[in-house]
Amino acid sequence: MDSTSTRRRATRAKLYEAAVTLIAEQGFSATTVDEIAERAGVAKGTVYYNFKSKTELFEELLRYGVGLLTASLQNAADETAARGGSKVEALDAMIRAGLVFIDRYPAFTQLYVAELWRTNRAWQDTLLVVRQQAVAVVETVLSEAVEGGELSAEIDVPLTAAALVGMVLVAALDWQSFQPERSLDEVHAALSRLLHGRVGGR
């Protein structure tokens, strides 16, 4: 990769970080391109050089952020497979990877979850596409667990995959907002028990 494209990637990352922080703080409509440029430490023209509009910047921000989440979930599954772990162990590792991601990018996660429930946004189609990419990684591992006999064939794979992703997102936001004294290990252990079906009475 040449120095120009490396610089451009670095600039875009700064713009994403500035935009996500500002929009999480004050909303999309109230955030201006001037504020994004100032927070990123670049000229206003730099924003328009990289993105045609604030809407395009936000759309690319969603792609970028959910892309990072998807990659972290996939890496967790791949690393578990590489060491010979089971598919259920891979799902457990993915839950942890999701929590680590959310702990690292809390403002993006809050923004992403909020946008999932809004309608009539210019980026709604993009949001649905990137959401499906993240859920698809979990769907694949669930399907393999069913095929390998680790999980019941009665499982509704698409719905279960969405539920797992949703569980991690909402539990992590609850943790950060209302139970910040808890460690990541504690939160992971609680969700892991749900995954392994250890919350019912005997």
Residue 104 has pLDDT above 80, yes or no: yes
Q: Which of 33, 43, 45, 40 is nearest to 16 (CA)?
A: 40
Task: Specify the pTM.
Answer: 0.88
Residue 5 has a pLDDT of 83
24, 100, 102, 179, 188 from 184: Cα distances, Å: 23, 8, 10, 11, 6
Residue 24 has a pLDDT of 86
Residue 198 has a pLDDT of 62
State residue 2 phi and psi, 5-degree precision. -80, 170
What integer is the mean pLDDT of 15-36? 91
What integer is the mean pLDDT of 126-136? 92
The 10s digit of each residue's pLDDT in 189-201 is: 999 999 888 645 4
Higher pLDDT, 96 or 201: 96
Give the integer Cα–Cα distance in Å for 117 and 196.
Answer: 29
What integer is the mean pLDDT of 70-89? 97
Residue 1 has pLDDT above 70, yes or no: no
Residue 25 has pLDDT above 90, yes or no: no
Find how far residue 60's CA is from the centre of its chain: 14
Residue 87 has a pLDDT of 96
What integer is the mean pLDDT of 45-61? 92
Are the beta carbons of 11 and 46 closer than 8 angstroms?
yes
Q: What is the mean pLDDT of the chain?
A: 91
Are the beta carbons of 15 and 51 closer than 8 angstroms?
yes
| Residues with Cβ within 8 Å of residue 148, at least 6 apart in sequence | 86, 87
Residue 202 has pLDDT above 50, yes or no: no
Per DSSP, the chain holds a count of helices (H) and strands (E) of: 9, 0
